[in-house]
Structure 1
């Protein structure tokens, strides 16, 4: 069987998944709300059953190959998962299948023969591998799981590792389509969105560095109850401000209004910087990100831009009017910033049947 799982781009509402999750401890907090889309790039794999082992071979985006073989035993899988490291995500997902499913499972062989998604750049490459493993078991053993159950196993597998992702990352299970997710305590609601015309984005790996763990630790310190003005501002942005901007962006997307999406991106970045940089200035000041967002030569070709994922100097995104502008922005950035790498992202209009 062949499986493709894309990465995931959070267009609006970053951090609001875990922030909304704190509502079960503090009901005064606002619901989290995100707008997400699967990338055009991802992980390609061939999968087949194996009698008693998990065999995972992966091809990284630079072409190098790695292979892991583990017995289908809870302790071996758990040990690999909690070590962290490259193969921990797959081991965590398989461990969860063994723990949660009543029916005994055989093993699985997964050959991830091609990866064209940048790793550790805010595009949920770790969630993509988790969804890939969950989907492989679902299809090989005909478990008849709906997408949301695949996502749940992928999420449980990822948090078995040292990773502290929120629940939005597994949205890559929906493929290359836009979805909205709401996070209210332990409850997650998903709405599949349709767009009336193609929307064009440019994703930019800034070729710099950031520490996502530090960002998440500093921002999580602001929850569930704020003890000072900085923490109150973090809760305000990740609550009501982010919610309103995301709601407006969803409306703009469903009418195909790229200009409005661009305006909202600029607004979101201004508010993010004002409310969140003081909580983690060492990572969120992000000089490389802001240099690119404000870079004069690309301004005629973009409608707006903002940071991606946890923000910091990891990845930027821009919305543009059409394919020609998409190409022009990529040419300028790759010419003037050789350390940066650009990806095209097109959200395709729903084809009327």
Structure 2
């Protein structure tokens, strides 16, 4: 933060008086993938890495955005009277969208100078966009003393993603970023928003994130296509069974509903129903301290995402299959939207160096370029730092 505050002053000048700093983490979903928008249960956790924001009120109506991660874009300057989406503003549309959403409810008397710096790999599927949104939302709430609760900011940030950015995401990412708790995962019912903290004290194990370094943008992926297929399948099923969401179906009901669907719809529904069941089993395993069972459920999750939901890719499969072969690996699976991005691995601490070396070598040999690896701890949710 000292670096960020010093850099803020280099960009904008002035003194440290009135400067405040905020943080929002990234997140990784441990299990429960592509079911948040189908009314299912997910099990994410916040990470210690994330987005830092240095902020200082201005005396006028201008907002200036600068990101160390997108320095080539320079300072993006807008007026509070015009916060419309602008493709030329690139990353700054995410925080700008938060200002726009808040301004629909509250008049903001001042503009702000903002300096962002994050240590989440861009495009890696660890929710850098939700991290930027929640860091911004918490910052605006605190700077202008607005009466938002954390859940309000979570919902607002999701709405920005859906309506302003145009990505039809569920609420899981923003929820995990907003409500994260150290040494805990969050079991979240994505329909009711009921949640509970689940002990996730890793003991002799670590979370290792492996980044394929294959960029994938949510808006450009098949994400919206998968969602539309699920909605079409649900409409057919509702003609036979009274069910509000796909994830409300039980595994016992699958033989009844699958004949109603096309082959593609059958695959997608099978994943949603079995993944929701796996997530609840994973919560039970963590609560009981049964890490072996938790690791097996992670493996089953990846196979379902690969074969039924078809959102994996050669790069993700190469990392996961190599991880399964390593001593000390409890579980490994793709995480996030898919088509690139990251895998999440639970690896014995004593084996992490060897894991990174051997999985990395296999990946480079088969894919032709290197993966990046991050050994990460579970972190706290979005907040003001000082």
| TM norm. shorter chain > 0.5 | yes
Alignment of 1:229-268 (within 5 A): 229-238=263-272, 240-268=273-301
Match of 1:3 among 3, 15, 22: 22
**Contact persistence 2:63–2:112 (CA under 8 A):** yes
CA offsets, 1:3-51, max 9 Å, x none? 121111111112111222xxxxxxxxxxx11100112211122222223
**Contact persistence 2:210–2:319 (CA under 8 A):** no
Q: Distance in 1 between matches of 2:300 and 2:23?
A: 34
- What secondary structure is seen at the aligned counterpart in 2 of 1:78? coil
Instruction: Look up the match of 1:24.
Output: none
**Contact persistence 1:210–1:313 (CA under 8 A):** yes
**Shift in alpha-carbon separation, 1:190–1:68, aligned structure 2, 3 A:** farther
Alignment of 1:94-109 (within 5 A): 94-101=99-106, 103-109=107-113
Are 1:181 and 2:184 matched, yes or no?
no
- Structure 1: give runs of 5+ residues left out of the alignment: 21-31, 278-283
Match of 2:331 among 276, 299, 304: 304
Q: Distance in 2 between matches of 1:203 and 1:49?
A: 37
**Contact persistence 1:9–1:36 (CA under 8 A):** yes
Following superposition, the deviation at residue 298 of structure 1 comes to 5.1
Deviates more, 1:264-273 or 1:82-91: 82-91
Alignment RMSD (CA, Å): 2.5
Instruction: Look up the match of 1:89.
Output: 94
Q: How many pairs were matched up?
A: 322
Instruction: Look up the match of 1:220.
Output: 227
Q: Distance in 2 between matches of 1:56 and 1:104?
A: 16
**Contact persistence 2:285–2:293 (CA under 8 A):** yes
Instruction: Look up the match of 2:199.
Output: 194
- What secondary structure is seen at the aligned counterpart in 2 of 1:339? coil
Instruction: Look up the match of 1:29.
Output: none
Alignment of 1:305-320 (within 5 A): 305-320=332-347
Q: Distance in 2 between matches of 1:192 and 1:285?
A: 28
**Contact persistence 2:53–2:136 (CA under 8 A):** no
Instruction: Look up the match of 1:38.
Output: 46
Give the alignment's TM-score, normalised by structure 1. 0.83
CA offsets, 1:177-219, max 9 Å, x none? 42121122xx422323333554521111112244543321321
**Contact persistence 1:12–1:34 (CA under 8 A):** yes
Following superposition, the deviation at residue 245 of structure 1 comes to 0.5
Match of 2:309 among 251, 257, 276: 276
- What secondary structure is seen at the aligned counterpart in 2 of 1:181? strand
Q: Distance in 1 between matches of 2:74 and 2:136?
A: 16
**Shift in alpha-carbon separation, 1:200–1:273, aligned structure 2, 3 A:** same
**Contact persistence 1:49–1:106 (CA under 8 A):** yes
Q: Distance in 2 between matches of 1:342 and 1:197?
A: 18
**Contact persistence 2:108–2:144 (CA under 8 A):** no
Following superposition, the deviation at residue 119 of structure 1 comes to 1.0
**Contact persistence 2:64–2:76 (CA under 8 A):** yes
**Shift in alpha-carbon separation, 1:191–1:50, aligned structure 2, 3 A:** farther
Following superposition, the deviation at residue 108 of structure 1 comes to 2.2
- What secondary structure is seen at the aligned counterpart in 1 of 2:232? coil
Instruction: Look up the match of 1:280.
Output: none
If you compute each CA radius of gyration, which structure gives the higher value, 1 or 2? 2
Q: Distance in 2 between matches of 1:241 and 1:200?
A: 26
**Contact persistence 1:297–1:332 (CA under 8 A):** no
Are 1:68 and 2:76 matched, yes or no?
yes
**Contact persistence 2:123–2:215 (CA under 8 A):** no
Give the alignment's TM-score, normalised by structure 2. 0.76
**Contact persistence 1:195–1:255 (CA under 8 A):** no
Are 1:204 and 2:210 matched, yes or no?
yes
Instruction: Look up the match of 1:339.
Output: 370
